[in-house]
Structure 1
Amino acid sequence: MPSQEPRTDVDARYSSEGVAPTPWPQARDALAAAELFWISTVRPDGRPHVTPLSALWHGDALYFSTGPEERKARNLESNAEVVLTTGANLWDKGLDVVVEGTAVRTTDEALLRELAAAWEQKYGGFFHYDVGDGCFLHPSGRAYVFVVAPRTAFGFGKGEPFSQTRYRFS
């Protein structure tokens, strides 16, 4: 897992003059509060694939789930590099956060039970999961669970002052 406090810098080319970096705790809180994320994966032929999904900030990483037959799960078999994006669909308000990292499947059933409870607490009963065979289990099948520890993240502060903060994890 990465260190909790990343190295942080502002890209002056895309930031208001003299703006300070968005603190990592603020970006981390935005990740924890977000209900919708967009995941970007790469198809085996190199074409990009982007789709919305729920995700959970837990500990120092993002977790998401997907059915084994879904396009993103099949993409991860050949290339585990992902980008998870969340934020507001507004030009001049809010903070968008982008997390880059490697998706690693987790099958630890104690952790999966902890995550299933956290998912239901965050999203409600629609996201009720049982756990078995190293997966989330739900009425329409099973779902693999992946963890993405941030390698690099970006915070895009929108509105005056505008800012682009890069977070580099060791």
Structure 2
Amino acid sequence: MDIKNLAHLYELAPLDWSSVTDRLDAGCDQAPGSGGPDRHTTWLTTINPDGSPHVTAIGSLWIDGSFWFETGRTTSKGRNLARDPRCTVAIATHEFDLVVEGTAEPVTDRGTVARLAAVRAEGGWPCEVDTTGTALTAPFSAPSAGKPPWSVYRITARSAYATATVEPGGATRWTF
């Protein structure tokens, strides 16, 4: 991992990646009043066919060192990722604002999809694995997810940027 201190001008130390991942491991609830500027919204940016950005809020999970989400393959983000898997994810926590650049790939491993369904169900979304074993279904989802089944995506990070929002401050870029 390459670490670049973006706050050296202010004589601040680089942020520690493990403190970022420890915070993400603790969870980022999306309920109002739970963090960020009132909650933790994860923003996904994909690339439209004309090269412009497509930004949308997603329900994300941080598991095993990666962001995970689900969407229908016919949604704008699903179509964009099928054409070009490059994307960014952004989230604000109390301790830092974070942007992760990487690629999002659909996950079809039945065991992994079942594990994600179980985590989502434990969190209150009554989803389950569909009949193919490779996607999720539920009585409802976010309107932007499209109709079921919903594919599970894992974002593999290429780089990340964090800006501390608490003292002593700092800003760091990591390249993986």
TM over 0.5: yes
Q: Where does residue 3 of structure 1 map in the other structure?
A: none
Alpha-carbon shift at residue 16 of structure 1 (Å): 6.2
Q: Where does residue 108 of structure 2 map in the other structure?
A: 107
Alpha-carbon shift at residue 147 of structure 1 (Å): 0.6
Answer with 31-40 or 56-65: which moved more.
31-40
Does structure 1 retain, via aligned residues, the 8 Å contact 2:102–2:155?
A: yes
Pairwise CA RMSD: 1.8
Alignment of 1:10-159 (within 5 A): 10-12=5-7, 17-32=10-25, 33-35=27-29, 36-88=41-93, 94-121=95-122, 124-125=123-124, 127-132=125-130, 133=132, 134-140=134-140, 141-159=148-166
Q: Where does residue 8 of structure 1 map in the other structure?
A: 3
Does structure 1 retain, via aligned residues, the 8 Å contact 2:4–2:14?
A: yes
Change beyond 3 A, Cα 1:29–1:54: farther
Alpha-carbon shift at residue 94 of structure 1 (Å): 2.9
- What is the alpha-carbon distance in structure 1 between the residues aligned to residue 166 and residue 20 of structure 2? 16
Does structure 1 retain, via aligned residues, the 8 Å contact 2:96–2:166?
A: no
Alpha-carbon shift at residue 17 of structure 1 (Å): 2.1
**Which gives a bigger RCO, structure 1 or 2 (Cα 8 Å, sep 6+)?**
1
Please report the TM-score for the alignment, with normalisation by the length of structure 1.
0.83
Please report the TM-score for the alignment, with normalisation by the length of structure 2.
0.80
Q: Secondary structure at the match of 2:50?
A: coil
For structure 1, the 5+ residue unaligned runs are: 1-5
- What is the alpha-carbon distance in structure 2 between the residues aligned to residue 24 and residue 160 of structure 1? 17
For structure 2, the 5+ residue unaligned runs are: 30-40, 141-147
Q: Identity rate of aligned residues, in percent? A: 31
Number of equivalences: 155
- What is the alpha-carbon distance in structure 1 between the residues aligned to residue 126 and residue 2 of structure 2? 37
Answer with 50-59 or 159-168: which moved more.
159-168
- What is the alpha-carbon distance in structure 2 between the residues aligned to residue 120 and residue 100 of structure 1? 28
- What is the alpha-carbon distance in structure 1 between the residues aligned to residue 14 and residue 126 of structure 2? 37
Alpha-carbon shift at residue 44 of structure 1 (Å): 0.9
Q: One-letter code of the match for 1:7?
A: D
